Structure 1
Amino acid sequence: MRPLIAILAAFLIAGVASGSECIDCHKAVTPGIVDQWLSGNMSKHFSCEVCHGNEHKSSNDWEKAKMPTPETCKACHPQQYEQYASGKHYYAWIAMKAIPALQHIPTPQRDLEGFKGCSGCHKIGYIEDKGAYKYGAAACDSCHTRHKFSKEEARKPEACLPCHMGFDHPQYEMWSTSKHGVIYRIEGDTGRAPKCQTCHMPEGNHAVMTAWGFLALRVPEDDEEWWKDRVTILQALGVLDENGNPTERFEIVKAGKVARLSKEEWQAERERMIKVCSQCHSENFAREQLEAADKMIREADRVFAEAIRTVKELYDLGILEKPEDWKYAPDLLQFYEVKTPIEEELYLMFLEYRMRTFQGAFHMNPDYSHWYGWAPLKASLVKIKYEAEKLKAEKLKEKTTENTKEAKETPEAEKETKKTPGFGVLLSLAGISAAYFARRKL
């Protein structure tokens, strides 16, 4: 045992010495990083090489410094890693890469080249290509930002703000302007009002799962009418084909955990949330509130499905043409890369208004749910149905014009022939009669 202790002690001493060398150099090169590192708890226990390796020795071989990955953090935080690996954040990168519209996004916004768009938040997910790892792609530092790596920072709701805001997922805005958020803003982090971590990371669980998931979709659905609407939405997502059978995208949805694929899976997450809510409210009140939010999803799906069917009819009638590189039409996962204004409106219904309708309801913000979600959702349906009727009328007018033009170009004699029923038959009979009487005379 003593030799082992001696070896470990020697390693730690060497590590501290190595860390000191890193600090001495980086004080001149990146002093801010050094200050952050020294202010954090990790600097009191580890040297720089624990995360970055020991191959980088000078400014001439900086590229040899290893970039941390989730596995790097796992060495000291196995439980948190396992929770993370079972949750939705782990699959964030996979979910982003599965979106067809991604191919049209500039590379700095979709890849590891700067994190200037979708990738800036989705980098919290597990990235398969280890060789492509760059600064900020360690996943854990999305919340425990480098180089302080503070647990207290990650426990604040503001830590969630950079990603959970804006167009399609403004959860922070919803929460911060709800009664819960207002109490937090008035009193601070006293524990009286729930924050993001209270509900979504109870007891520090890093899985961060919810009953409905990002898309608020679950299969199957007991409500028959709701299930019909759900199928329409899943078909527009390309997850089910026209016959209701799973497509290749179904496997992506399954792998990315963006929907709930069994009642048991959904119910387990619902019961977990009930337990959280019951810390302050009665269980009956908690269930009533969450079930009311469930109903908002159903109502939003009804409106959204009607809009999808309206656009689908335009494809069926040949008024809208499916692009050659699309497998499904309409295809909600093309996002704003659609080809017509009516589909642009459908995209807004999907990723903005429907999302805000149910997200606002679950975040206890009735004003947000109604005026930023439900109201524009309904308005969009009116626009889509009105535009669809215009497009159908234009198509009918175009067809009528073609028929009129064709009629004008037809010779008069041919027109008369076409107008007289059986005219050709009468001519034939007249010819036969003439021949018959000619023979009689002979």
Structure 2
Amino acid sequence: MKTFDKLESNVRGYIRDFPVVFSTAKDAHMVDEDGNVYIDFFAGAGVMNYGHNNTKIKEAVVEYMMGDGITHSLDMGTEAKRTFLETFNDVILKPRGLEYKIQFPGPTGTNAVESALKLARKVTGRTEVVSFSNGFHGMTLGSLALTGNATKRAGAGVPLGNVTTMPFDGYLGVDADTLAYFEAFLNDAGSGQDKPAAVIVETVQGEGGVNVASWKWLRNLEKLCRRHDILMIVDDIQMGCGRTGTFFSFEIAGIHPDMVCLSKAIGGMGLPMALVLIRPDLDVWSPGEHNGTFRGNNLAFVAATKALDYWRDDKLEEGIVFKGLRVRERLDALAGQFPKAQLVARGRGMIQALESKLDGFAEEICAEAFANGLIMETAGVRSQVAKVMPPLTIDEVVLEQGLDILENAIAQVAARRFPNAYGKSVA
């Protein structure tokens, strides 16, 4: 670890939570240089939906490279990009009755968000955008202006403007209609709220604490946008590509966003890639008006195309639903087993979480889990949420093993915190 301490910036974060040097990974396991094996309930923050070094995806990429396929192409035409575009349209868009133009804005999620914001402002001629409390949309300035986390916002070093934050579903309590609150501002000329170009929303706020918007709330948000001629952007960067059960996280709501931002898992096996899906009549970009050196990552096109094979039938989706329900069942049981920990389970599909109202409890859970061979991260502005986000393809036996480690970690932390209630810790 001395090399990282000496040569890498202090900005590094995850290495502090997982203080080992990893060397190999396969499916839902990671191995450090000392040979210790870890079950992965982190999945690269949602990048590794199809597991580490997925054999079929890896073989496709290696074959392409060995054939001297184009690797970098800016936005020139390549066989790899054409194949991806055709496959994505045929396998994902058409079966869902969706019609979008596809923009490759650059390799990361924040590139997609920045592109969507620029286009929304260009189309409407308006400058303001509405985001939601506890949202997270990226670390570049436009995306950061949309992000709720005060610590991350403070790192900007400049004022973050042209964004209004409205309360997410449930933010004001279960009985509060946060969209009625939002619309009251839009309808009142004295509210100080200018008509926005767009609204951007995560259907499940991953980094913000696994806060889940109801289907009704999402449908009502779309209706609000239509009534007021506001574009609706769904940030599906972490929750897309099957994380919540369906390929797009919004499918069950039956909504049709004007733009969709994708990244993370779209690259198939961790290769950087991002998309903006654009309603065709909104595609008013001039050639070269938005660009990026690495928007033509052909290795990612190859990997992404192969990953779409998982969506040619319903097997993966059915597995996500089944395993997601099993995770939720275990988490609900743990919340009941340790009432003093004040745990609440929530989530959708294969993004599930336990929140504790006790300061530091979720962080201690994740640290204890890592010490026993399970990689998990926290979420929420106070790191108050322990997040369960394994690869979608995780074997059921391995999933149960990971949940057993999590259960033991909670028991250990609870025993340290409340020895009279749960016995003495054996750690």
Bigger fraction of residues in helix: 1
Higher RCO, 1 vs 2 (CA within 8 Å, ≥6 residues apart): 2
Query: Between Structure 1 and Structure 2, which shows a larger proportion of strand residues?
Result: 2
Q: Which has the larger radius of gyration?
A: 1
Q: What TM-score, normalized to structure 1?
A: 0.28
- TM-score, with length taken from structure 2: 0.28
